[in-house]
Amino acid sequence: MISLWSSLLIAATLAGTPVPNTQRSRSAITRVQPQLETKLKSLGINWGSPLFVRIFKETKELEVWLQKDKAFVHFKTYPICDFSGELGPKLQQGDSQSPEGFYFVSPNRMNPASSFHLSFNLGYPNKYERARGRTGDFLMVHGDCVSIGCYAMTDPQIEEIFALATAALEKGQPYFRVHSFPFRMTKERMAKSKGSKWHDFWKNLKEGYDSFEHTKIPPNVEVSQNRYVFNTPK
């Protein structure tokens, strides 16, 4: 027999975790939710479906993908207003470099009271980066179109992304993944990067890129022997 406590715990898990909110974030979500729900309905996607984000520095694009059945489908591509630095990973605090790698955003990393309208924290440095002694903190995707190491969007864009993320987390997604790449990691584009000091690092990122391209399911990401390793969730 399942105890009352177990029943409550299961119910809480299924319901998701409340996302921090402010009057600003509540107003933003109220403003953008109707038009987002209309588009979702036309695609056969439910409000609050699990979310996945990909970032491409070179083309300054942020993609939002949402789960439909088991796989994820492309919902919208947002132009990135600004990011800092060049192609390549962030190495240390103060280098004004936007990160590249694999991150996840849990409810407590959502910031409805950001100095840059609304934001979410990527969680840099991740396990891979910590193992390599990389430093820095508060690397965000945020509004206000100003970057000092973060990925900056316009306020209307971050409102939509924040609303979709909030809905997914509160419907039960424990966290959403953010994969940040220097460019679209096609065979042709990778060939052009062979002279870069980051080519081997990018080859490792490409493994994760290719996994999603093949399955349309964000891979589980682990770190082993100082490199990223990937497997497809069952």
- On average, the pLDDT of the chain sits at 93
Assess whether 150 carries a catalytic annotation: yes
Query: Residue 96: what are its φ and ψ, rounded to 5°?
Result: 55, 40
Rounded Cα gap, residues 16 and 25, in angstroms: 18
Each residue's pLDDT tens digit, 106-156 = 999 999 999 999 999 999 999 999 999 999 999 999 999 988 889 999 999
Task: Single out the catalytic residue among 142, 145, 179, 214.
Answer: 142
pLDDT at res. 29: 98
Is the CB of residue 99 less than 8 Å from the CB of residue 180? Answer: yes
pLDDT at res. 5: 34
Fold of 16-231: L,D-transpeptidase catalytic domain-like (2.40.440)
Is the CB of residue 155 less than 8 Å from the CB of residue 163? Answer: no
Question: In b/e form, how buried is each residue of 14-32, taking b as 16+ CB within 10 angstroms?
Answer: eebeebeeeeebeebbeeb
Which residue has 């630095």 as its token pair? Answer: 85
Task: Single out the catalytic residue among 81, 117, 150, 179.
Answer: 150
* pLDDT grade for 16, boundaries at 50, 70 and 90: confident
Rounded Cα gap, residues 22 and 127, in angstroms: 31
Percent of the chain with pLDDT over 90: 89
Assess whether 145 carries a catalytic annotation: no
Which residue has 């177990």 as its token pair? Answer: 6
From the number of C-beta atoms within 10 Å of its C-beta (0-12, 13-18, 19+), residue 189 rates as middle
* pLDDT grade for 234, boundaries at 50, 70 and 90: confident
Once rounded to an integer, what is the mean pLDDT over residues 161-173?
99
pLDDT at res. 15: 62
Q: How many helices (H) and strands (E) does the chain have?
A: 6, 12
Each residue's pLDDT tens digit, 79-94 = 999 999 999 999 999 9
Which residue has 């280098």 as its token pair? Answer: 95
